[in-house]
């Protein structure tokens, strides 16, 4: 369970860094772009991808992921900034219901009673987590439509999860190699965006943004590395890793958000946290049966 704990910590550290970015005047887009350069390096060092013939590789999946990852990262940063770590983590973790629903609608999987209960609890948790009232933070007022960030995070993470699952099912290319290619595409897309911003003088090159991005990349890759190692160490109990990871991130993220950043939650929001944990437990248990 040590790997699960480390993965949880890395996941929450990513949210903390995104929360601190505005405070230290870090350009989030630059940081996210350079984050992928570090991810490429760490993937090469720790996962040792094999470079081989890629003629049959699913480049349409790589391209979609390469575009969606940095794009959604920016949205997650905005969500953390305007709605807080707690709500954003819940939206990310509950996105797991999208591939479950897709399995019912697209792949003719038969819904079970437990999975239906889990989905209902999950959507109830999302509704309870939405900041229905406009809230004032220390530096600025959150926009009235800040719930849209949560919705996009929820939907985007679900789509990315489906694409990663399809990538993992493709046996023609090792997973580590596919992951490396996705990071390379994400980095290239980010660099093209930066070139445009620099050329139009809408952004300035600065080493602090790069260093911040590299730290972000270490935490981001650590989350993936330790999650994979947890599944390897507990190969016979994937549901334990799955549930412990998702519940752990929600709990730790809530503690950090409430105690460190003094995020304010209503009673309904707190009920949403409880419902989110219950939904993950139900879905995890349904996968055992």
The 8-class DSSP code of residue 204 comes to -
* DSSP per-residue letters across 13-54: HHHHHHHHHHHTT--HHHHHHHHHHHHHHHIIIII-PPP---
How confident is the model at residue 144, as a pLDDT? Answer: 64
Three-state DSSP at 206 gives coil
How confident is the model at residue 137, as a pLDDT? Answer: 45
Sign of the C-alpha dihedral computed for residues 82, 182, 222 and 33 taken in this order: negative
Nearest alpha carbon to residue 11 among 240, 212, 251, 190: 251
How confident is the model at residue 232, as a pLDDT? Answer: 84
For the entire predicted model, the pTM comes to 0.87
How confident is the model at residue 52, as a pLDDT? Answer: 74
How confident is the model at residue 41, as a pLDDT? Answer: 97
**Packing angle of the helix pair 147-169, 175-199 (nearest 10 deg):** 140
- Quote the CA–CA distance of 230 and 267 in Å, as a whole number: 34
Nearest alpha carbon to residue 95 among 278, 276, 282: 276
- Quote the CA–CA distance of 157 and 73 in Å, as a whole number: 10
How confident is the model at residue 14, as a pLDDT? Answer: 96
| pLDDT tens digits in sequence order for the chain, 289 residues long | 789 999 999 999 999 999 999 889 999 999 999 999 999 999 999 999 988 777 788 999 999 999 999 999 999 999 999 889 999 999 998 888 888 777 777 666 777 888 889 888 988 988 888 765 655 544 445 566 778 899 999 999 999 988 998 888 888 888 899 999 999 999 999 999 999 999 998 888 889 999 999 999 999 999 999 998 988 888 777 777 878 888 899 999 999 998 999 888 888 888 989 999 998 888 877 766 6
Number of domains, the chain: 1
How confident is the model at residue 97, as a pLDDT? Answer: 82
Q: Which domain holds residue 69?
A: 2-288
Sign of the C-alpha dihedral computed for residues 205, 211, 212 and 216 taken in this order: positive
How confident is the model at residue 195, as a pLDDT? Answer: 94
- Quote the CA–CA distance of 154 and 93 in Å, as a whole number: 8
The 8-class DSSP code of residue 133 comes to S
């Amino acid at each position: 369970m040590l790997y699960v704990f480390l993965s949880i910590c890395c996941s929450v550290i990513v949210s903390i860094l995104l929360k601190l970015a505005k405070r230290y005047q870090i350009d989030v887009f630059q940081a996210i772009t350079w984050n992928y350069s570090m991810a490429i390096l760490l993937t090469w060092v720790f996962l040792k991808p094999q470079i081989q013939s890629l003629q049959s590789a699913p480049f349409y999946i790589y391209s979609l992921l390469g575009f969606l990852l940095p794009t959604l990262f920016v949205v997650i940063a905005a969500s953390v900034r305007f709605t807080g770590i707690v709500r954003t983590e819940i939206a990310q973790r509950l996105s797991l219901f999208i591939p479950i629903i897709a399995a019912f609608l697209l792949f003719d999987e038969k819904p079970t009673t437990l999975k239906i209960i889990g989905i209902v609890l999950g959507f109830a948790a999302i509704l309870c987590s939405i900041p229905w009232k406009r809230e004032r933070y220390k530096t600025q007022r959150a926009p009235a439509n800040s719930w849209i960030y949560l919705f996009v995070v929820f939907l985007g993470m679900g789509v990315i999860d489906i694409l990663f699952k399809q990538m993992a099912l493709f046996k023609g290319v090792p997973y580590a190699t596919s992951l490396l290619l996705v990071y390379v595409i994400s980095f290239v897309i980010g660099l093209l965006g930066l070139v445009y911003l620099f050329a139009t003088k809408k952004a300035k090159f600065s080493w602090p943004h790069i260093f911040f991005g590299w730290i972000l990349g270490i935490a981001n890759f650590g989350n993936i590395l330790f999650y994979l190692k947890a599944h390897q160490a507990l190969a016979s109990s994937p549901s334990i890793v799955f549930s412990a990871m998702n519940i752990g991130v929600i709990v730790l993220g809530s503690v950090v958000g409430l105690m460190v950043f003094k995020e304010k939650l209503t009673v309904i929001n707190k009920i949403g946290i409880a419902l989110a944990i219950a939904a993950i437990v139900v879905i995890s248990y349904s996968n055992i049966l």
